[in-house]
Amino acid sequence: DDDVSTAPGHIAPRDDVLLLGPAVVQEEEAAPDCGPRRQRTPPPARGGASVSLLRSAPPGRPAESLDHGEISRYSRHLVLGDVGVSGQLAIKNASVLVVGAGGLGSPCLLYLAAAGVGRIGIVDADVVDESNLQRQIVHGTSTVGASKCESARGRILDVNPLVEVATYEEEFTSETALRILGGADGSNGSPSSSWDVVVDGSDNFPTKYLINDACSILGVPWVYSAILAFEGQLSTFNFKGGPDYRDLLPTPPPPGDVPSCAEGGVLGVLPGTMGCLQATEVLKIILRKERGLLVGRVLVFDAMEMKFSEIGLARNPDRTKVSELIDYQGFCAGPKAAPRPPGAVNGSGGRTMDEAETAGGDGGSSDGGPEFRSISPPDCMERLSGGWSPWVLDVRLHSENDIVALPFTDCVSPHRTVVPSDLPRDGEVLVYCKAGVRGRRPATDL
């Protein structure tokens, strides 16, 4: 046989890979001081059968082999000393659940599929919107209006038809989380999961706390990320007794303090960067390359300054172990607002516009809190055209006002806690923001 030369510092391909691999094994260009590398053409499989490196596994058992196509597809992994055949088999036998097929989930799903993760789960109840395409690269113009799960599934199978994709077109809630995660009583009587790793592709605090607690109950590591504007964070939680999300954020921030990406904006490539880093962490967990995992560390990326930094994170030994799931929407909503003082102006119950509409009404609070009322934009415009003239407070950012300005606005104030001094003492006040979240604090103050 001809020898295959390798550049200094490169790991020579194993003989069994070359002999039993694809029909032609084409090496990369040689280093400047090496002669041209040659091709090796091993004998083809008889009868067109797939050629395996190792013996096949019985049905239902972990895969013990890589077939002809897999050897070709994952050849760049196979020549890595820290991956190789055994590592690629570990990836093939792994299962990863991604909660959210949005900005973070998109690149993570694509790279996990390309790497050959054998079983990938997607949780998302949403449909593809045109505004998603600026950053959610797993979707395309042709899938606008389609289920995000099915859109992502089709793209994943186009990247790698060898992977299995499970989709969950439902909300990830306290009622569904443990079922989706595959929680069941194991042989030792303790809960278990059918997923090896969970990836956080969510964009809100309730879901992140839910992922954390469900993974804590089931003993599953999960890879966290959060993004806003030009900054992202990343860490691996619940890994072999390491810190988790409640060590990073013991209590959620007050509602409205942290805007969502829809409110605060996000640079389109930022979730791509963070999602790729999440996929990297997942593969390191699967490959058991634990030394460099982000356990006890939070990676912070500032895209504007192009800088990475780290924050140390330790597990709180006095923190109570999670034993059950709770109402995370209520948990993140914070304590109930104080009773409305006499003469205070009506508002909308402390709920977001979406929450009020979902509840089926716009009446006041029944729990002693401020009596806010919520109104949808179409209803608002109808009432305005009918002669309604409330005092209008626009709490959006000035940049948002530049996009769409309301001609009937009395005051534009992005400072959510500021109550304008010229606020009328009687009559109705309309607090306006993009999605209904940022208006809660000024409405409470009013």
Q: Hey, which residues are catalytic here?
A: 261, 433
* Closest C-alpha to 146, from 121, 122, 169: 169
Question: Across the beta sheet with 231-237, what order do the strands follow?
Answer: 164-168, 119-123, 95-99, 197-200, 222-228, 231-237, 297-302, 307-312
Which residues share a beta bridge with 120? 96, 165
Q: Is 60 left (phi over 0), alpha (psi -120 to 50) or beta?
A: left
Residues 6+ apart with CB under 8 A from 35: 5
Please state, in angstroms and rounded to a whole number, the distance separating the CA atoms of residues 313 and 244: 9
Residues 6+ apart with CB under 8 A from 249: 205
Please state, in angstroms and rounded to a whole number, the distance separating the CA atoms of residues 41 and 48: 16
Q: In a 3-state reduction of DSSP, which class is residue 227?
A: strand
Which residues share a beta bridge with 153? none
DSSP 389-423: --EEEE-S-HHHHHHS--TT-SEE---TT---TT-
Quick one: tokens of 225? 């990320």
Alpha helices (runs of H) in 287-427, residue ranges in sequence order = 328-333, 353-359, 377-385, 398-403
Quick one: tokens of 22? 């694809």
Please state, in angstroms and rounded to a whole number, the distance separating the CA atoms of residues 233 and 278: 10
Quick one: tokens of 379? 């209803």
Please state, in angstroms and rounded to a whole number, the distance separating the CA atoms of residues 112 and 93: 12
Which element (helix H / strand E) includes 432?
A: strand 429-432
Please state, in angstroms and rounded to a whole number, the distance separating the CA atoms of residues 121 and 213: 19
238-265 CB burial, b ≥16 within 10 A, e <16? bbeebbbbbbbeeebeebbeebbbebee
Q: In a 3-state reduction of DSSP, which class is residue 196?
A: coil
